[in-house]
A = this chain, B = another copy of it.
Amino acid sequence: MAELKVGFIGTGVMGAPMARNVLRAGFPVTVHNRTRSRAEPLLNEGASWAASPAELAAGCNIVVTCVSDTPDVRAVVLGPSGVIEGASRGATVIDMSTVSPTATREIAERLEAAGVDMLDAPVSGGQKGAIEGALSIMVGGKPEVLARCRPVLDAMGKTIVHCGGHGQGQMVKLCNQIAIAGNLLAAAEALTFARKAGLDLATVIEAVGAGAAGSWALNVLGPRMAARDFAPGFMVKLQLKDLRLVMQEASELGVPLAGAAIAQQLFTAIQAEGAGDEGTQAIVRAVEKLAGL
């Protein structure tokens, strides 16, 4: 098999540490980013620069995209000077952004027609997981393409799960976001009830978190809710972007999601406060506000 030459498009909060781990694992890495200055640290560590997605794709057989939203992926892959203009037949695009599963299937088809494979491979684990190479990676696409790309994904993640065909990695990521949103809502409601009842929140989390009521949201973010620490692990505005994708897809699938919808509205209330850059635990403030706190 030919050497894996890896390109990274998008060297932001997630993309930069992911590219760094691939570089450190010994793969040649080329990067492209809308704002070149944000890629400088990687260039200093040995990555090469490409002036456009097309130029990057011309020199790589694996192109990782890690951008913000569906239109961004579409633009860097299919747009002018996009990946599709430079990529050789037999190359693979791995989209690690969280974007629309439906759009993912369309992009995969367009690439396939050009002889380019695609994997959707959204991640969970946040910036911490990206830095530590400990992400969970949810992969959609052909198993043999995943097998070929696995050494690169291994450099970025600890758990790599094949979820099905094109778009199914994105679908599992949306399941993840539905569960997170609901668990956050549950934790926020339990702790707001507790606060109004005059209970000590640390005691409640201790008494409740270890058993059948436990969740990552309650056990990890609950103490931050109690401490009024709203620094972002994962930002409200990104949770809202993901819930928009959830609701679009749920609407197409015909799945009413009453719980996730309520969480979405409460996150919207936090965003309306101008606090979209805060962590998702800020949802507790919306529940408190409704309770007159």
Q: Which residues of A contact B (CB under 8 A)?
A: 101, 124-126, 136, 138, 159, 161-164, 168, 171-172, 174-183, 185-187, 189-194, 196-200, 203-204, 206-208, 210-218, 220, 233-234, 246, 249-250, 253-260, 262-263, 287, 290-292
Contacts and interface: CB of A to CB of B under 8 A. Distances in A.
A125 to B, nearest CB: 6
Given A183-B186, A292-B254, A193 B178 contact: yes
Interface centre among A192, A204, A211, A212 (most CB of B within 10 A): A212
B214 A256 contact: no
A207 B161 contact: yes
Contacts of A197: 101, 168, 171, 175, 249, 253
Contact of A159 (B182, B210, B257, B258): B210
Given A171-B194, A207-B138, A253-B197, A213 B259 contact: no
Contacts of A124: 208, 211-213
Contact of A171 (B199, B234, B253): B199
How many chain copies? 2
7 contacts: A164-B203, A168-B198, A178-B189, A179-B213, A182-B186, A212-B216, A256-B291
B291 A254 contact: yes
Contacts of A204: 163, 172, 175
A101 B198 CA distance: 13
A164 B200 contact: yes
Contact of A190 (B182, B212, B249): B182
Contact of A258 (B194, B196, B249, B262): B262
A261 to B, nearest CB: 9
Contact of A178 (B190, B257, B263): B190
A185 B259 contact: yes
Given A124-B212, A179-B215, A262-B258, A174 B193 contact: yes
B250 A193 contact: yes
A151 B210 CA distance: 22
Given A204-B172, A207-B159, A207-B163, A212 B234 contact: yes
Contacts of A186: 178-183, 185-186, 259-260
